[in-house]
Structure 1
Amino acid sequence: MQWYLDVLKNYVGFQGRARRKEYWMFFLFNSIVSIVLSILDRVLHVSPLLSTLYSLAVLLPYLAVSIRRLHDTGKSGWWLLIGLIPLVGAIILIVFMCQDSQPNDNQYGPNPKNEFKSLS
């Protein structure tokens, strides 16, 4: 849950890098909340009001963590636009998001894995 809240706090942080764990934990909690809100929309017999409002609220944090995740693998945030290509784009993005971090500092900043090691 802390990973989800950290992404929300850094909702306009497009600079730097994001670990795989940060991205996928945000994705997991975001998916769970979306499913729960969709169920609530159906139970309350309202148009998808709650899920639409939630989706709009987390759009910027999702874009920010996705771009930082691409930065962590050494790719520009513009690669996120490849997701606009049906099916193939989504598969390519999933592969990018699953890749390990570049081991050392890159043009987007220091490796976030090393930052956590030095704190412990």
Structure 2
Amino acid sequence: MFKNIFLFEGRIRRTEFGLSIIIDYFALIFLGVIDAVVTLGIVIKFLFFTLLFWFILAQSVKRSHDLGQSGWYVLLPFYNPFFLLFSEGILGKNEYGEDPKKRVNFFNASTSSSILQPPLVRAYQPIAKHTSEDSTSHRYDFVVTKDDTILKKWLDTKVESINMSATQYLIK
């Protein structure tokens, strides 16, 4: 946490961004108190304010990168810091770098079916494949290892309507 705080590249988590806002806020309060007690020169105040602005700008850009967006958005007035603080970052690696949470996406389904968690296999990472055993009526989805061992199979069907009177458990 807090590596390369003045650089604009990479990604940071929500926690680091929130702590950056708090640090910046208290540094501004401290600078105001010091200026009230001891009159600081305008050059010294300008340097401190520039340093704090650069710090929070760099952290905001990195947080924007974690959301998969360009860092230029932080210069827009309506780009809310609360949005940066409370939005979940993108899972896995994106164009701006590795996931700062080090999360791993074990399941990459390209189907419209519900996502089922495949069992963990230590030797291989499961890969989702969409195939069709019987192309006329049913479509099956498989989770397989790299050597095509089937770990999980489920039927992908779409229901147009449900007959509520078909079963006594659905009728009240």
**Fold match by TM threshold 0.5:** yes
- Which whole-Å CA distance do the structure 2 matches of 1:46 and 1:108 have between them? 39
Per the TM alignment, residue 45 of structure 1 is displaced from its structure 2 partner at its CA by 4.4
**Mean CA deviation greater in 38-47 or 71-80:** 38-47
Question: Cα distance 1:47–1:32, how it changes in 2: closer, same or farther (>3 A)?
Answer: same
| 5+ long unaligned stretches in structure 2 | 104-172
| Equivalent position of 2:6 in the other structure | 11
Moved beyond 3 Å, runs of 4+? 45-52
TM-score, structure 2 length as denominator? 0.51
More helix by share: 1
TM-score, structure 1 length as denominator? 0.70
More strand by share: 2
Per the TM alignment, residue 94 of structure 1 is displaced from its structure 2 partner at its CA by 2.2
- Taking only the aligned residue pairs, the percentage that are identical comes to 26
Which has more radius of gyration?
Answer: 2
| Equivalent position of 1:118 in the other structure | none
Contact between 1:16 and 1:68, CA under 8 Å: does it hold in 2? yes
Per the TM alignment, residue 69 of structure 1 is displaced from its structure 2 partner at its CA by 0.3
- Equivalences, count: 103
From 85, 93, 117, the equivalent of 1:97 is: 85
- What's the RMSD between the two structures over aligned residues? 2.3
Per the TM alignment, residue 72 of structure 1 is displaced from its structure 2 partner at its CA by 0.3
Contact between 1:20 and 1:69, CA under 8 Å: does it hold in 2? yes
Letter aligned with residue 6 of structure 2: Y
| Equivalent position of 2:124 in the other structure | none
